[in-house]
Amino acid sequence: MTWVKVDDGFRHHPKAIRIGPLGRDLFVCGLGYCAENLTDGFIPDDMVPHLAPGQSHPTKIVARLLLAGLWTREEEGGYHVHDYLAYNPSREQVLQDRQYQALKRDMYADGALLKVIRARDQDRCRYCGALVNWRDRRGPRSATYDHIVPAGGNAADNLVVACRGCNAAKRDRTPEQAGMVLHAPGWYQVGSSSDLDRIQNESSPRPGPTRPDPIDSKTETPFVPSNGPRPDIPAKLLERVPALDTWPSPDALMALWNDIAARDGLLRVRSASAGRRDKATKYLRQFPDLSFWLGAFSRIKASALLRGETKNPGHESFRADFDWLLTKGKDGTENIVKVHDGKYDDRETR
C-alpha cells in the first residue's frame, strides 16, 4: 500500500473552493490513482471516467481542474497532477523503499545474524560511539541496525549497530555520501565499567529516551586518553586545539568549545570547575565520538537563537553556552542532542 499526501488545509485553498465539491473529489481520487499505480502523477485519458465512483460526467469536471492549474494537459494523451512529485515519492523511490522493507524483514527474521552483530559492536553505535538502548524505541540513542550500503544485503559486513539519531541522519545513503565516519568495532576506548553499563542497559526498568548512563565521574575515568599520534583527529584541528590530543577528556572538550566560541562570538569557559569536569565526563561517557561534538558545535552557526541573535519574545537575552549544552531541556532530552539533531536550526536552513 502506498500513501498519498494531501495538505490538511486543502479544503480552504482558493483553488479547492473554486473547483467545487465534485472537483475536489476528482482531484483527490486522481491522487489516489497515481499513488496506487506509481504513475508519478500521470493520469491517462481512458482512466478519468473511472477515477471518482458516483460521478456521472467526470470529464466535464476536468475543465475546472485545468482552469485552476491543479492538472495540466499532456501530449501523450492524459493529464498530469501539478507538483505531484514535490509532495509524493516517485515510482523509483517507492520501489526502492519496498525492496528495503523486505530486506529489513529478512534481517529481523535472522536472529543468529543479529546476535553476531550485537556481540561484535558491543551495543555501541558504530558512528558516534554512544551506548545504545534496546528498550527505547523512539529516542535518539535508541538502538537500531543500519545497512552500511542501503542495497547491499543482509550480511554481517554490511550491518552495524547504530543509534537512532545517526541512523536518521544517514538515511538511505552510504557513510561517505552522508559525510559520516564508520568506525571499526571496538574503536572507542572505555574503562573497566563498560560491561556493567551494558548489563544495566539490558536489565534496568525502561528509562527515558536519552537517559545518560549512571556513573560516578569523581572516582572513575570512563575513557582512556590515547598515547602517541592521533590519526583519528584532523591534523589542522589538532594543531589549533592541542588539548584534543587527550580526547576524550573534559579538558579536551572545554578546549574544543573555546575554539568554537572564540570564532563564533560565544561565551568561553574560563574556569574548569569540579562541577563542569564531572558533567563533561558524564556526557563524554555517553557521546565519546569527536565528530558528534564537532557536528553539534557547528550547528550553532545555523541557529540565530543559539547565537543570541533572535528577537523572539522571551528569548531576547538567551545565548547558548557550554553549561547549557550539558543540561537537559524540559522534555528530558539533552540539549546537546537537540542541537546535534538540528532542532534549533533556523527554518530556512533545515
Question: What is the torsion angle, in degrees rounded to the nearest 10, for the CA atoms of residue 264, residue 265, residue 267 and residue 269?
Answer: 60
Residue range 126-183, pLDDT digits in tens: 988 888 889 887 777 889 999 999 888 999 999 999 988 888 888 888 988 888 889 8
Convert the pLDDT of each residue in 256-291 to its tens digit. 888 877 777 788 888 888 889 899 999 998 888 888
What is the distance between the alpha carbons of residues 347 and 350, in angstroms, rounded to a whole number?
5
Question: For residue 230, what are the CA distances in angstroms to 189, 217, 238, 248?
Answer: 13, 25, 9, 12
Give one word for 54, left, alpha or beta, with left for phi > 0 and alpha for psi -120 to 50.
left
Give residue 308's identity as a one-letter amino acid code. G
Fold of 10-87: Arc Repressor Mutant, subunit A (1.10.10)
Q: How far is it, in rounded angstroms, from Cα 97 to Cα 162? A: 19
For the chain, the residue count is 350
The tens digit of pLDDT for each residue in 194-247 reads 333 433 343 334 333 333 333 333 333 344 444 455 566 777 777 888 888 888
What share of the chain has pLDDT > 70, as a percent?
Answer: 82
**Cell triple for residue 157?**
559486513
Prediction pTM value? 0.47
Q: How far is CA 125 from CA 13, 94, 113, 156, 183, in A?
A: 45, 28, 17, 15, 9
The residue extents of the domains of the chain are 10-87, 91-203, 235-349
Q: Per-residue pLDDT for 36 more than 90?
A: yes
310: which 3 cell numbers? 533572535
pLDDT at 121: 92
